[in-house]
Amino acid sequence: MSKCSSSAPLSLKELTQLAETFQALHAVIRLRIIGILAQGESNVADLKAALHVSQPLLSWHLRQLRQAGFVTYRRAGRQLLYRLSPERFLELEAELKTLLGDFVDVDERPEKGA
């Protein structure tokens, strides 16, 4: 028998927004960008060198991540420095907790390597 969560389920609008979020994260290159930016700010030239992709392709993926709110940038002279937006990742975490309810209980997570 299944048990129902006490938290309210996500609305259709919220589920649609969550699906759009996953769409923004679906490309491996975008996940690689996130991994690099998790280590700190980076400019396009350094990202391009690390990812071995063309500048137009990199810019397109950065734009998708910016539009989804995962990446921001600031100007430093003539270059743009990209960084992650921690607030957006916290929002995603909250959305997933709402979606999954009690399924993912922090106190019941298995130990890594177990």
Predicted TM-score (pTM) of the model is 0.76
Tens digit of pLDDT for each residue in 1-36? 445 545 567 788 888 888 888 888 889 999 999 999
Q: What CATH number has the domain spanning 29-91?
A: 1.10.10.10
Confirm if 62 and 77 have CB atoms less than 8 A apart. no
Number of C-beta neighbours around residue 61 at 10 A? 20
Phi/psi class of residue 71: alpha, beta or left (left: φ > 0; alpha: ψ in -120 to 50)?
beta
For the chain, give every domain's residue range.
29-91
In the chain, the amino acid numbered 68 is: A
Q: How far apart are CA 9 and CA 32, in angstroms?
A: 31
Looking at the DSSP bridge assignments, the partners of residue 71 are 84
CA angle 85–87–24, rounded 5-degree value: 60
Per residue in 41-97, pLDDT tens?
Answer: 999 999 999 999 999 999 999 999 999 999 999 999 999 999 999 999 999 888 888
